[in-house]
Amino acid sequence: MNIAWSISILLMLLAAGLLFYSAQKNSHPRHIQRRFRAALQQEGIHLPAQLGTLDFEEAVQDMLGKASRGEIEEMQRLLVQAGWPGAKAKCMFLLFAWLLPVALGVLAAIYAIVNQDTWLNVLFHLLFAFAASFVLIRRLLRWKAQHRRDAIRKEVIPFLHLLRMLFDAGLAMEHILLVIEQQGRDLIPHLAQELQLVIKRIQTGQDRADALVEMATPLEVVELNDTIAMLKQVTRYGGNIRDSLSEYTTLIEQRQVSELREYVSKLSAKMTVVMILFLFPALMIFLAGPGFVGLAKALKGVNGL
List pLDDT tens digits, range 248-277: 888 888 888 888 888 888 888 788 887 788
Q: Is residue 283 part of a domain?
A: no
Q: Is residue 215 part of a domain?
A: yes
| Boundaries of domain holding 217 | 149-255
Q: Is residue 180 part of a domain?
A: yes
Is the whole-model pTM more than 0.85? no
Phi/psi-derived region of residue 28, left when phi > 0, alpha when psi is between -120 and 50, beta in every other case:
beta
The Cα 305–Cα 282 span in angstroms is 34
The Cα 212–Cα 224 span in angstroms is 10
CA 180 to chain centre: 28
Query: pLDDT above 90 covers what percent of the chain?
Result: 4
List pLDDT tens digits, range 13-62: 565 555 555 544 444 455 555 555 565 555 555 544 444 444 444 554 45
The Cα 198–Cα 224 span in angstroms is 14
* Whole-number Cα distances in Å, 245 to 55, 117, 242, 248: 58, 67, 5, 5
Give me the pLDDT at residue 184, please.
83
The Cα 107–Cα 8 span in angstroms is 15
Q: Is residue 96 part of a domain?
A: no
H-state helical runs in the chain: 2-26, 30-42, 54-82, 87-114, 119-168, 173-183, 189-203, 208-216, 222-237, 242-274, 280-304
Total of domains in the chain: 1
Q: Is residue 212 part of a domain?
A: yes
- The residue-averaged pLDDT of 198-211 equals 86
Neighbours of 78 (CB within 10 A): 20
Q: Side chain identity at 10, as an amino acid letter? A: L
Neighbours of 155 (CB within 10 A): 21
CA 214 to chain centre: 19
User: What is the DSSP-derived secondary structure letter of residue 27?
Assistant: S
Q: Is residue 88 part of a domain?
A: no
List pLDDT tens digits, range 85-106: 877 887 888 788 888 888 888 8
Q: Is residue 287 part of a domain?
A: no
Closest CA to 142 of 89, 189, 77, 92: 77
Q: Is residue 233 part of a domain?
A: yes
